[in-house]
Amino acid sequence: MASLTERNIVSGKREALADLISLVDAKDTPLTSMAPKAAKPGNTLFRWQVDSLPNAVVNTTGVVDGTDVNVASDPVNFVKDGATQYRYELSNHIQEFRKPIRVSPLTIDIAVVAGVRDELANNISKGMTMLKRDMEKTFGSYNLPKADNGSSQGYVSRGLDSWIRSVKTTGGSVGNDNYLDVPTAFLTPTTSVVGNATATVESSTASSTLTEVTVQDMLTSIYQQTGQFRSYDAIVGPVLKRGFTNLLYTNRSSGGAETQAQIRTINRDAADSSYISSVDIFEGDFGQIRLHPSLWLKNTYCGYVIPMELLEIRYGGSVAGIKELTDNGGGPARLINAIASLCVKNPLAFGKFDYAS
């Protein structure tokens, strides 16, 4: 029976442009391409819950047989127990991205450019790529959420770097993180963030300090939060990716009193390119980890360890599209726009290599 149900409506689905945005320029924009796409945010400000449990304790007293529960003092409240709160709300703003394009009449009618059959189509294609790259750069940034003030400031979504912080910023280059801030209990643990950022100063740690121990400590910290062996995607800057490659293809001696410390036995030619743009898949004790190179992070040295199912990009479907603008003689114009926001479901399960050089 050919019933017309929602899933049968293919044409005109609101997610159409979101799908296309995900497809375009995928290899260069891994964050926006791989993050699960979620339903549109319910409002310009949207919220979700994060929850936790109290620490487990060793029960040394047991339960005396035949005793009743003391209903006044025994029950535990897992939402807010006295001064301890277990459930919080996180929130973020949506952000609009725009890329208007226009092609002049002379470009369309007169100019003949090799390899380009239609300048308008070519520009739409490039406009979508640029829109995607803007989104990638913005979502990977240390942007703090901002509300529209009606004059100089539009809605801004909190970026990934700001979601994965162990210390709330109170000033400095990032600004004061006092609006829609992450509750202290759900800040990413210090042990999951490699770097020395403080509340007012960004990290200055060098990526050359990356060692196996650094990686182990971070993954152990993430495991302590999640208690699960799972797959992680690590989106890393090219220099950090090269740091991993160096760990792979060289050995360092532990260095004793009778030996030179940090002897490197290099089993490849020094002239070889040590950076190859590929997704490197590791199989280890903590599950699978995939390293993705990205050029759109806050710098080329940093990296983020992401359990991808805890990340979402929420698209405002009803206003995403390619709109035809009026042509008043200057040539046909189009507006490519998308409204989206980054949702980090729980910052505790993430990790960050906060390198600055």
Partner 1 sequence: MADDMFQSLADSIPSHLRNEVERELINGWRLNEVKATVKAKELASFGYRNAVNTIDGLGSLSARIPLDAYHYWGQRLGYECWDDKQFLNEYKRDNPEVAVSNYAKKTVVRGSVFTADGFIT
| Local structure of 175: helix, strand or coil | strand
Residues 159 and 141: beta-carbon distance below 8 Å:
yes
Q: How far is the CB of 125 from partner 1 (least distance, A)?
A: 5
Q: Which residues bind partner 1 (CB under 8 A)?
A: 10-13, 16-17, 19-20, 22-23, 26-28, 30, 33-34, 117-118, 120-122, 124-125, 212, 215-216, 219-220, 231, 244, 247-251, 253, 263, 265, 267-269, 272, 276-286, 288-290, 293, 308, 321-322, 324, 334
Q: How far is the CB of 313 from partner 1 (least distance, A)?
A: 13
Q: Which is nearer to partner 1, 37 or 168 (CB)?
A: 37
Report in angstroms the alpha-carbon separations of 168 from 161, 201, 249, 252, 338: 12, 11, 37, 36, 29
Could you tell me the sign of the dihedral formed by the alpha carbons of 182, 38, 304, 236, in that order?
negative
Q: How far is the CB of 20 from partner 1 (least distance, A)?
A: 4
Reference 20, options 28, 32, 2, 8; nearest CA is 32
Q: Which is nearer to partner 1, 72 or 270 (CB)?
A: 270
Tell me how far apart the alpha carbons of residues 100 and 94 are, in angstroms, rounded to a whole number.
Answer: 20
Tell me how far apart the alpha carbons of residues 181 and 162 are, in angstroms, rounded to a whole number.
Answer: 10
Q: How far is the CB of 100 from partner 1 (least distance, A)?
A: 15
DSSP structural state of residue 356: -
Q: Which is nearer to partner 1, 69 or 112 (CB)?
A: 112
Q: How far is the CB of 337 from partner 1 (least distance, A)?
A: 11
Q: How far is the CB of 109 from partner 1 (least distance, A)?
A: 16
Q: How far is the CB of 145 from partner 1 (least distance, A)?
A: 27
Q: Which is nearer to partner 1, 90 or 240 (CB)?
A: 240
Report in angstroms the alpha-carbon separations of 113 from 118, 200, 334: 9, 51, 21
The H-or-E segment that residue 92 falls in is strand 88-93
Residues 138 and 130: beta-carbon distance below 8 Å:
no
For 36, phi then psi, to 5°, come to: -60, 140
Residues 191 and 217: beta-carbon distance below 8 Å:
yes
Q: Which is nearer to partner 1, 29 or 203 (CB)?
A: 29
Q: How far is the CB of 153 from partner 1 (least distance, A)?
A: 29
Number of neighbours of residue 2 by Cβ within 10 angstroms: 5
Q: Which is nearer to partner 1, 188 or 337 (CB)?
A: 337
Q: Which is nearer to partner 1, 65 or 324 (CB)?
A: 324
Reference 18, options 323, 344, 318; nearest CA is 318
